Amino acid sequence: MHYEFTYKNNIATFVTEITMLCFRNLFKLPYSTLSNMKFFIDTANLAQIKEAQDLGVLDGVTTNPSLMAKEGISGDENVLNHYKAICEIVDGDVSAEVISTDYEGIIKEGEALAALHPRIVVKVPMVKDGVKAIKYFSQKGIKTNCTLVFSAGQALLAAKAGATYVSPFIGRLDDISVDGLGLIEEIRLIYDNYGFKTEILAASVRHSAHILGCAKIGADVMTGPLSAILSLLKHPLTDSGLAQFLADHAKAAGK
């Protein structure tokens, strides 16, 4: 199994990683089993990001050019300021997508984005120059999110290039009658076979069934709208049970 020695200066982390590796191999556990599933919100809307952050379950944010446009954010300076505002609300990683599709352009844009704030993750599309750029960024210690991934082959390539996150779009696959969760399962298997450290960020999540499916398979992260996160709260028996408890309490108190 390929395992990079990158902990020269951090013996404690190294020992922990080795122990976890042995534990996983001993019990044949997938790599995601020993870490917490992360919840990212997929929006550029500051109010919704704040609401999710206040709920106490938010681990990061993903954005894309369409989501920025939806909030009416345009012009280089406004875009950069908006990313900074997002970074100030959340504690976790914030994906900011490059617009360029050529190597030099991606590098220039990505370096400028990364310099904005330590939480920024450079989001790079799955194109040939994007893969080269991911390799470059990973060697420079800049976090990346390889986006617009629709096949296991693309996910394998992103991991080989050293992407921090890979974003398979499960909702968009479901839209064309291809099993999105099936792709997450395939990528999980491939990454676990070789111990790739790239995190599977299930994207284009639309509803609670997607989130639960991702959790069962062992996606490291899911990103979806606030509505998908809040839909996890809902069950009709919770609502009727609570109404009954409150009514009984009021009756007993003679109200």
Which residues participate in catalysis according to the annotation?
Answer: 123
Token digits for 107? 């590098």
Q: Which residues from 70-109 bind ligand E4P, rule CB under 6 A?
A: none
Q: Which residue number, 17 or 144, has a Cβ lying nearer to ligand E4P?
A: 144
Q: What is the DSSP letter of 6?
A: -
How many amino acids of this chain bind ligand E4P (CB under 6 A)? 11
- Indicate whether 207 belongs to the interface with ligand E4P (CB under 6 A): no
Q: Which residue number, 150 or 169, has a Cβ lying nearer to ligand E4P?
A: 169
Among 65, 92, 105, 171, binds ligand E4P (CB under 6 A): 171
Q: What is the DSSP letter of 226?
A: H
Among 31, 83, 223, 228, binds ligand E4P (CB under 6 A): 223
Which one of the spans 101-109, 130-138, 168-176, 211-219 is the region binding ligand E4P (CB under 6 A)? 168-176
Least distance CB 2 / ligand E4P (angstroms): 27
Q: Which residue number, 20 or 215, has a Cβ lying nearer to ligand E4P?
A: 215
Among 203, 214, 219, 221, binds ligand E4P (CB under 6 A): 203
Q: Which residues contact residue 44 at a Cβ distance below 8 angstroms, ignoring those fewer than 6 apart?
A: 63, 67, 68, 70, 71, 73, 82, 86
- Indicate whether 198 belongs to the interface with ligand E4P (CB under 6 A): no
Q: Which residues from 51-70 bind ligand E4P, rule CB under 6 A?
A: 62, 64
Which residue shows structure tokens 């096949």?
151
End-to-end CA distance of the chain: 68
CA–CA separation, 204 vs 49, rounded Å?
17
CA–CA separation, 125 vs 131, rounded Å?
8
CA–CA separation, 190 vs 196, rounded Å?
8
CA–CA separation, 105 vs 144, rounded Å?
15
Q: Which residues from 106-165 bind ligand E4P, rule CB under 6 A?
A: 147
- Single out the residue of 40, 37, 38, 7 nearest to residue 21, CA to CA: 7
Among 134, 146, 204, 229, binds ligand E4P (CB under 6 A): 204
Residue 13 burial (CB < 10 Å; 0-12/13-18/19+)?
Answer: exposed
Residue 46, SS3 per DSSP: helix
Least distance CB 60 / ligand E4P (angstroms): 11
Q: Which residue number, 69 or 247, has a Cβ lying nearer to ligand E4P?
A: 69
Binding footprint of ligand E4P on the chain (CB under 6 A): 42, 62, 64, 147, 167, 169, 171-172, 203-204, 223
